[in-house]
Amino acid sequence: MADPYTDERQGVPGVIPPMRTAEYWVARDRAREGPQDRAVAASLVRSGLLDLDQVASLPEPTTVPQEPPPGFRADGRPWDADAWQGLVRRLQRTRVIPGDLGVTVGRVSLRTWPTEEPAFRDPHDREFDRWQVTRVHTCDPVRILAATDDGWLFAASSIAAGWMPAAGVARAARDIWESLRRPVDPVVIVGAGVVTEAEPYHPEVAHRSLEFGAWLPPSGESNVGGQHRMGHIGVLCPVRQRDGWLELRPALIKDDGRARQGFLACERASLLRTAFSQLGDRYDWGDRLGHHDCSSLVMDAYRTMGVQIPRNSRVQSLFLPHRIRWTPADDIRRRLGELEEARPGDLLHMPGHVLMHLGSVDGVPYALHAFVGYGMEQDGETAPVLVNAVEVSPLTLRTRRGPRFVEVLTGVSNIL
């Protein structure tokens, strides 16, 4: 029988089945504590977010390079000058808008340029679209700063600015926009696979997928589309009307633990349980396929507690409060010793990546993260092993480039 600690065919080396549950790590946390003050936790990270009251001062998004940045299209052809000029002409027809208020009506892609066409790193790649910035959550307030004449908006959310398909954004009145910007007891999606019930009278809110980490206004209606609310949670779904303005329409979702009214308790056990709801999901650069990459996973886990942190892993490492910092001169013994003091839910930073600390077993630290893969030693060299999923791994595992994860960490941040 294969040893699950050494055989990568059985999963990540060093990980046994109980470790792939939140309860394993919750039970091992020696310093159990009660809920933290959500306002205090949120105040620690505000400097890493865009201020939507000031965002109208962003530079106009109409300056583009004359030559296309390196990248390959979905059919494997490079972005050549002729294809790039189509984008240039589109941007030349951009009109600037003085900070109109908008709300996303679904989980909307935010792009570097106003096109759905990707820019992959090589002709065979179908994952790492360099022009995908992120996806903005359903019912998120944005400021609209510019528009093309063929259906693209340049907009800013609290986590990033970029180009969005206009069909994914509805204009909103100031009072509604402000209420969504600072929600009180919203319905929070805390698990995977949440879908609204069928609604024969308003099909635009039927079978709507609501993603992990989304916040929606609650609906108090006892009957929606002829269906009683019993056993369900009522939400208001955002809909873009024909005139482009927002309407919030009632819908029902099953009350099965994957959604709740009000944020989760601001505590480490809640954070681990909700993060583990994404275990096994495919790694997804920029959330292009509807899942998570490393930084959006931890961002959305904290969102379920009402705490917003920056989207980008580099910005997270710069703005989140650190309890430990390391330099390349710090040896592995020091790192392993100091990780014994880290708490479950702390974030672990390394160049281009972020992980959620879980705890240590027999002196070996473990983390949950969305990652591409790791390295296995073969004939004196490091061979890459693909994972491409949200998984648990020991930090003593090698990266695909050779050094162990623990050896390239730059620090540990804590919000709770």
Per-residue model confidence (pLDDT) at position 7:
47
Give the mean pLDDT of 369-387: 92
Helix (H) or strand (E) holding 361: strand 353-361
Give the mean pLDDT of 100-124: 95
Per-residue model confidence (pLDDT) at position 196:
98
Asked whether residue 47 carries a pLDDT value surpassing 80, the answer given is no
Token pair 């941007």 is found at: 91
Residues 301 and 409 in one domain: yes
Give the three-state DSSP class for 42: helix
Report if residue 1 sits inside a domain. no
**What is the per-residue pLDDT across 317-354, written as a single tens digit (0 to 9) for each?**
999 999 999 999 999 999 999 999 999 999 999 999 99
256-287 burial: b if 16+ Cβ within 10 Å, else e: eebbbeebbebbbbbbbbbbbbbeebebbbbb
- Mean per-residue pLDDT over the chain, rounded: 92
pTM: 0.94
Domain boundary among 156, 181, 206: 181
Number of structural domains the chain divides into:
3
63 confidence band (pLDDT: 50, 70, 90):
low
Report if residue 290 sits inside a domain. yes
Residues 247 and 282 in one domain: no
**What is the per-residue pLDDT across 228-248, written as a single tens digit (0 to 9) for each?**
999 999 999 999 999 999 999
368 Cβ contact partners less than 8 Å away, ≥ 6 residues apart: 272, 275, 276, 279, 355, 356, 358, 390, 391, 392
Residues 57 and 122 in one domain: yes
Asked whether residue 9 carries a pLDDT value surpassing 60, the answer given is no
**Contact assessment for residue 142 and residue 136, using Cβ atoms and an 8 Å cutoff:** yes
Residues 154 and 252 in one domain: no
- One-letter amino acid of 224: V
**What is the per-residue pLDDT across 69-98, written as a single tens digit (0 to 9) for each?**
889 999 999 998 888 988 888 888 888 888
Give the three-state DSSP class for 231: coil
- Tell me how far apart the alpha carbons of residues 312 and 300 are, in angstroms, rounded to a whole number: 12
**More confident: 48 or 169:** 169
**Farthest-apart Cα atoms in the chain, separation:** 67
Q: Cα separations (Å) of 385 from 2, 378, 393? A: 17, 11, 13
Per-residue model confidence (pLDDT) at position 87:
87
Domain boundary among 213, 237, 261: 261
Residues 307 and 237 in one domain: no
Domain boundary among 242, 261, 280: 261
Residues 171 and 193 in one domain: no
